[in-house]
Chain A
Amino acid sequence: AAGVIQSPRHLIKEKRETATLKCYPIPRHDTVYWYQQGPGQDPQFLISFYEKMQSDKGSIPDRFSAQQFSDYHSELNMSSLELGDSALYFCASSPEGPTTDTQYFGPGTRLTVL
């Protein structure tokens, strides 16, 4: 079965640079979520989009922004990168429909800020 696709899988940036992470949801899933997992930490919810509109917001820094496009893929843009932004970034998607919004996660992007 098709899964959530994230690119790139690994990314190395310098402090103060910008980064863009991409997420391609499972076909026919209309909702995407972004999570951040720092070293030794549990995943933390950042932001979500439903039908291309921002839906829920978690602990996303003001330096980060995200959007969902007409094909439902999403991009997380991160500016003025800091050392503390080094983390795994997971995208998840959930299906349309009124019965469940179970989230299915991608493999993640490992961001290293030097």
Chain B
Amino acid sequence: DAKTTQPTSMDCAEGRAANLPCNHSTISGNEYVYWYRQIHSQGPQYIIHGLKNNETNEMASLIITEDRKSSTLILPHATLRDTAVYYCIVRVGYSGGGADGLTFGKGTHLIIQP
């Protein structure tokens, strides 16, 4: 799986949009960008994933650059409950019956300030 680079930590004011960047310059054509988050000691929570088109769901939006070398996760209206470590993970979207484990990097510790 391609390596990802994320800032160690970020602050965001409550109610504002939180924009979390991720660099994945060695991403392959069949690799997706996945985002998970982990609120203190809870199980990682799936947020969103995408291949090359921008994606949006009830939790967040994912913006992937045209060259696919970087992406941004957007939480449109951050709340205190969004304080967590956010992981950007690049991997094959479907391993054809396999079950490849996720490789968690260091992630970004997002702190939402009241």
Residues of A within 8 A of B (CB): 4, 31-33, 35, 42-51, 55-56, 58, 88, 90, 92, 94, 98-108, 110
- In the bound complex, residues from chain A placing their C-beta under 8 Å from that of B42 are 107-108
- In the bound complex, residues from chain B placing their C-beta under 8 Å from that of A110 are 41
- In the bound complex, residues from chain B placing their C-beta under 8 Å from that of A32 are 99
Is A48 touching B43 in the complex (CB atoms < 8 A)?
no
- The CA of A64 and the CA of B106, in the complex, are separated in Å by 25
Is A105 touching B99 in the complex (CB atoms < 8 A)?
no
Is B46 touching A102 in the complex (CB atoms < 8 A)?
yes
Task: Encode contact with A along B32-75: 1 for CB under 8 Å, 0 otherwise.
Answer: 00100010011111100100000000000000000000000000
Pairs across A and B, CB under 8 Å, 9 listed: A33-B101, A42-B106, A46-B101, A48-B99, A48-B100, A56-B99, A90-B43, A101-B94, A102-B46
- The CA of A108 and the CA of B38, in the complex, are separated in Å by 12
Minimum C-beta distance from B93 to chain A (A)? 6
- The CA of A18 and the CA of B100, in the complex, are separated in Å by 27
Cβ 8 A contact of A105, one of B43, B100, B101: B43
- The CA of A103 and the CA of B38, in the complex, are separated in Å by 14
Minimum C-beta distance from B29 to chain A (A)? 17
Task: Encode contact with A along B77-114: 1 for CB under 8 Å, 0 otherwise.
Answer: 00000000001000001111111111111110000000
Minimum C-beta distance from B3 to chain A (A)? 14
Is B43 touching A31 in the complex (CB atoms < 8 A)?
no
Is B101 touching A56 in the complex (CB atoms < 8 A)?
yes
- In the bound complex, residues from chain B placing their C-beta under 8 Å from that of A107 are 42-43
- In the bound complex, residues from chain B placing their C-beta under 8 Å from that of A49 are 99
